[in-house]
Structure 1
Amino acid sequence: MLIRYVRMTFQEDKTEEFQEIFNSSKDKIRAMAGCSHLELLRDINQPNIFMTHSHWESEKALNNYRDSELFRSTWAKTKILFADKPLAFSVESITVA
């Protein structure tokens, strides 16, 4: 399983707009083949910084989503709201609690 984190810093007056975009697309993302988890996190000290945390069955499943029209349209609406370059990390769990 691939775990994906994407940290995004938004213009302070654009956070509500981003949350609307996320809320309108989250169920469609969760329904993508290979996605088993998606959540949105917010920094407790910097409310304009958000992070998505998602689980994918493989890198291929993630890339299929990233190559989809859903991703392209959602990302186009999201990236214009950024205050800084996003950071993305793909990791795998090596220990289980």
Structure 2
Amino acid sequence: MLVRIVKMSFEPSKIEEFLANFETVKQNIRNFEGCQFLELYRDQNKTNIFFTYSYWSSEDDLNNYRHSELFKDIWANTKPKFNAKPEAWSVDKLTSLN
């Protein structure tokens, strides 16, 4: 399993638009082939910074999503709202305690 973490910083005036769009598309992302899990987080102190955590069955599944029309549409809507370059990491989960 691959865990994808994406950090996004938004213009404060664009946050509500981002959240509304995320609400609209989150099920489509989660239901994309290979996506096992999706969460959105917001920084407690810098409230214009958000993180998505998604779990993917494989790197191929993530890449298929990243090259899909769904992702292109989401990114076209989201990218103009940034006030800093987004950062992304693909990591392997080593330990999980519940």
User: Normalising by structure 2, what TM-score?
Assistant: 0.96
What does the per-residue CA deviation read over 1:42-94, in whole Å, with 9 as the maximum and x for residues that have no partner? Answer: 00001100000000000000000001000000000000000000000000012
Distance 1:88 1:21 in 2: 20
Distance 2:20 2:93 in 1: 31
- 5 Å-filtered alignment, 1:56-67, equals 56-67=56-67
Q: Which runs of 5+ in 2 are unaligned?
A: none
Q: What amino acid is aligned across from residue 7 of structure 2 in structure 1?
A: R
Distance 1:14 1:96 in 2: 34
Q: Which runs of 5+ in 1 are unaligned?
A: none
Question: Match of 1:8?
Answer: 8
1:92 aligns with 2:86: no
Residue 19 (structure 1) shift? 0.4
Q: Any runs of at least 4 consecutive aligned residues in structure 1 with deviations exceeding 4 A, and if so which?
A: none
Distance 1:14 1:47 in 2: 12
> How many residue pairs end up in the alignment?
97
- 5 Å-filtered alignment, 1:1-97, equals 1-97=1-97
The DSSP-based 3-state class of the residue aligned with 1:28 is helix
Q: CA RMSD in A?
A: 0.7
Percent of paired sites with the same residue: 52
